[in-house]
Amino acid sequence: MSTLNVAEIPRGRTPETATQRQHSRRWWILAVLAVSQLMVILDGTIVNIALPTAQHALHFSNSDRQWIVTAYSLAFGSLLLLGGRISDYIGRKSALIIGLVGFAGASALGAASMNFTMLVVARTVQGVFGALLAPAVLALLTTTFSDPDERGKAFAIYGAVAGAGGALGLLLGGVLTSYASWRWTLLVNLFFAAVGVVGALVLLHHDRGVDHDPLDWPGVLTSTLGLFALVYGFSHAETTSWTNSFTLASFVVAAVLLGLFALVQRRTRFPLLPLRVIIDRNRGGALTAMIIASAGMFGVFFFLTYYLQTTLAFSAVRTGIAFMPMVAGTITTAQLSNIVLLPKIGPRPLIPLGMLISASGMWWLTHLTLASNYSHGVLGPLVVMGLGIGFVFAPGFSISTLGVAPHDAGVASALVNTSQQIGGSVGTALLNTLAASAASAFLVGRAPSATNQALAAIHSYTSVFGDVALIFVGGAILTSVILRSGAPADLVKSPPMH
């Protein structure tokens, strides 16, 4: 396979030749982008499985353990918009390669960690390069696939990876932790990164960037610090309380800075986040769906993992395998929605339908008891959840980047990833708080016996599942109001000329 790029094109041949060459390799490019994105998504759950083992090996406390997750979230969530803008400036190929190499280097540093501080630093650096990598991946997907039919197939695959990646992370994390070492949950990223870098060098032509406007420094500072304060506020609420002074102060700072960011974007000549990117109703509805679905997915992975491991005594590997029916459901409806239905009926019926299907799966889980088992209490709801998530994520990714000008693709892609990150942070803080409150309320007036403790845990899980079901119902109503009816023109393939 040739590795020619624009710089190697002989004189007399136009740069379009390189573009045509890249187009002919577009499905291989999709595979590279899917592997790169899978690495980022896996990192959200694969390390979580390894945390207890890493904690024992490096001798850090329970209070410190949260920072292994928070350090990554803070860096990743706060720098996404800047990462998207940088990818537009330096070129998506360069941003992708730098992001992959940096992420792999940080993963290797984390795997070699000899103490808590070293691991936290590694996770922070992972977040920094992930914030450059994730927008570049989605922007490349958006600009590589413009044909309506092919776009539907490409985003169906991408949406399936995004929806199923968390469950795959649980499986891979369980296998690596059980049969190798917790360090391999980080080292495995080197394999994904190597595939991504080689694929990018071979398949992508060199692009010099599409947006060379001056950097909006007031926008960079207000958005980065505002998002940092917002994510930190949710993380702090999870470990303390919603009324903690630091939690409240973080939310106040976030509100002030993000408000200033909005004002700056309206008045500056070269905004970091142009208003034209966010005023589209369909894009707004898709981003809303991403926030809600990401928050709800946390409820599935986190609390159902606890149920499987503590109540049903599943091993880490068996827990990962238990989530595979959900993956199958997600892949099925991701293909159906984006390839068949989205070009015909648009996102308005699909995304709310996916929310309602997901809500029914979560409501089904509220019936779990100490006497339940996997086949009768968990399998069915997981399949239903997977079917619902496929109807949300795949159309959501496609619509949120549809119709974006090439020079806005990076920042639009960053906005999608930011929505997911904020949704996950909200879900982590809110649902953990609700679970703790439900467990405490259940134990009031009861003896703290082992049986009552187990019943309290079940009650906290089922309460959260019910809350998530209501969140999904609310999301269905909200997205049905925001999204426009009908198929977007950019997804409808023009009939052949006669």
Cα R_g (the chain), whole angstroms: 22
Distance CA(56)–CA(316), nearest Å, equals: 16
pLDDT at 115 over 60: yes
Q: Which two tokens stand for residue 427?
A: 């879900």
Instruction: Determine the pLDDT at residue 118.
Output: 95
Least confident window among 52-66, 336-350, 356-370: 52-66
Instruction: Determine the pLDDT at residue 4.
Output: 42
Report angle CA 257, 288, 170 to the nearest 5 degrees: 100
How do residues 93-105 score in pLDDT, each as one tens digit? 999 999 999 999 9
Instruction: Determine the pLDDT at residue 432.
Output: 85
User: What percent helix, strand, coil does the chain show, rounded to 5?
Assistant: 80, 0, 20
DSSP per residue, 368-379:
--TT--IIIIIH
Tell me the average pLDDT of the chain: 87
Give the count of beta carbons closer than 10 Å to the beta carbon of residue 453: 14
Q: Return the CATH number of 18-209+272-482, one of 1.10.10.10, 1.20.1250.20, 3.40.50.11540, 3.40.367.20.
A: 1.20.1250.20
Residue 159 or residue 354, greater confidence:
354
Q: Comparing C-alpha atoms, which of 191, 158, 188 is closest to residue 173?
A: 188
Distance CA(63)–CA(68), nearest Å, equals: 10
How do residues 359-418 score in pLDDT, each as one tens digit? 999 999 999 999 999 999 999 999 999 999 999 999 999 999 888 887 788 888 899 988
Distance CA(303)–CA(370), nearest Å, equals: 15
Report the residue count for the chain: 498
Residue 183 CB contacts under 8 Å (≥ 6 apart), including other chains: 111, 112, 113
DSSP code for 367: T
How do residues 454-490 score in pLDDT, each as one tens digit? 999 999 999 999 999 999 999 999 999 999 988 887 7
Four-CA torsion 317, 366, 327, 347, nearest 10 degrees: -160
pLDDT at 9 over 50: no
Instruction: Determine the pLDDT at residue 7.
Output: 43
Confidence of residue 148 (pLDDT cuts 50, 70, 90): confident
- Residue the block writes with tokens 């720098």: 79
pTM for the whole thing?
Answer: 0.86
Q: Comparing C-alpha atoms, which of 169, 214, 225, 142 is closest to residue 397?
A: 142
Instruction: Determine the pLDDT at residue 35.
Output: 92
pLDDT at 2 over 90: no
What one-letter code names the amino acid at 283? R
Instruction: Determine the pLDDT at residue 23.
Output: 65
Confidence of residue 116 (pLDDT cuts 50, 70, 90): very high
Q: Which two tokens stand for residue 108?
A: 């290797």
Confidence of residue 209 (pLDDT cuts 50, 70, 90): low
Least confident window among 2-16, 22-36, 58-72, 279-293: 2-16
Distance CA(321)–CA(255), nearest Å, equals: 41
